[in-house]
Copies of this chain bind each other. A is one copy, B any other.
Amino acid sequence: MTPSSAAAGVENVLRMLEGRWKLVILFHLFGGKLLRFSDLERAIPAISQKMLIQQLRQMETDGIVRRIVHHQVPPKVEYGLTDWGQSMCPALDTLLKWAAAKPD
């Protein structure tokens, strides 16, 4: 594994997690919770609708988040993590621990 190929691998991972709000959203979904669009809006007041839907869609495309549509009126759409999305927890934990170990 060359420096650049390894970097490319991590960069692609990071790209999936980049975006001002993705991690905030993810942390609200961890634990297998299912939240409606409006639930997420309430949980994250600072986010705009545009950003919320955009980041959700990107994570859906990346296979991290799943979207569950209940065909009813009024509409009901729930968001949750995929199995793979759930499985990122340990990785984020490792990163957090590294960050927490910062000297100074």
Tell me the smallest distance from the CB of A56 to a CB of chain B, in Å.
15
Chain B residues closer than 8 Å to A63, beta-carbon distance? 102-104
Q: Are A102 and B84 in contact (CB under 8 A)?
A: yes
Chain multiplicity (copies) = 2
CA distance A9 to B102 in the complex (A): 12
A interface size (C-beta, 8 A): 39
Q: Are A13 and B96 in contact (CB under 8 A)?
A: yes
Q: Report if A36 contacts B (CB, 8 A).
A: no
> Using a CB-CB cutoff of 8 Å, which residues 43-100 of chain A contact chain B?
43, 63, 83-84, 87-88, 90-92, 94-100
Measured CB to CB, the nearest residue on chain B to A64 is B102
CA distance A84 to B95 in the complex (A): 12
